Chains A and B, each alone.
Chain A
Amino acid sequence: MRKALTGLATLWGPNGEKQEKATFTCAHCMNVKRVEPFCDPADLGGLCKTCMGVICDRPECHERCDPLMKKIERQEKAAQARRWMSEVM
């Protein structure tokens, strides 16, 4: 679990007090989640057994495995196709 916590969020309060929390980025939707120390891994969302990425607790992230980079590739290909169409037409 610790390996999945890739980020660090730091909040400085009004009187200079500092809070640090580990974060992870959902492998399906890019949602950044802050993690309480020693929390139950099940509370975070879960581990996708298909892409082996840590995912957040949004229901759509649990419905099926749709990794973020695949989504981005689809978005880029669709944009390329639209650009090509606009040049041809």
Chain B
Amino acid sequence: MALYGTSNVSATTPTLNNVASTVKTMLQLAAQTTGLRRAFIYEFKVGPSGLPNATDCEIAWTIIKQTTAGTGGVTLTTNALDQADAAAATVALGSLTAEPTGAETGIIDTIGANQRGTYQWQVNPGGPGELVIPATNLAGIGIRAKSSNYASTVNVGAKFRE
């Protein structure tokens, strides 16, 4: 069981999308044709990384199943927690320019948090309750954010196993 971690800043020059009033995918993990393999997310953490808005407000987070991956983003590094493990087959993408499809029907979780709040979810890796990414090309799971007033960047991290 190989464990991996990534975040939307796991790139040499990460470019982060600002949160807006329309939903934006901040991090997506998706299967890809080369080395199709199931992935299991066992932890994710979300929170703001920019200055809070003067008007106190929310950030609404949604975790979604996607049938077609978003595009145009920055490919992020997936780090093996044990460096002896092989590289992950799952592709992590951040700061997307085109949103994924199939999102609205597959909401796994929704969190309404304060703009200065941080949220973390975790299960035991390899145990029950993990979020499964099927070994189907471009199928994946995305973590999205939207806010009425907050208009800066967020940090989103996830850990998964293959």
Contact = CB atoms under 8 A, between A and B. Distances in A.
Contact of A79 (B63, B114, B136): B136
Given A6-B129, A24-B129, A30-B132, A11 B111 contact: yes
Interface string A22-34: 0111000011100
A82 to B, nearest CB: 9
Contacts of B113: 11
A83 to B, nearest CB: 8
A76 B119 contact: no
A25 B130 contact: yes
B134 A76 contact: yes
A54 B76 CA distance: 34
Given A11-B111, A25-B128, A75 B134 contact: yes
B131 interface: yes
Interface residues of A, number: 22
A49 B111 CA distance: 30
B118 A25 contact: no
Q: Main SS of chain A's interface residues?
A: mixed
B71 interface: no
Contacts of B122: 7-8
Contacts of B135: 76
A23 to B, nearest CB: 7
B39 to A, nearest CB: 11
Contact of A13 (B114, B124, B128): B114
A8 B115 CA distance: 21
Interface string A1-44: 00000111111111000000001110000111000000000000
B81 interface: no
15 contacts: A6-B124, A6-B129, A7-B123, A8-B122, A9-B119, A9-B120, A10-B120, A11-B113, A11-B119, A14-B115, A23-B121, A30-B65, A31-B109, A32-B109, A79-B134
Interface of A: 6-14, 23-25, 30-32, 68-69, 72, 75-76, 79, 83
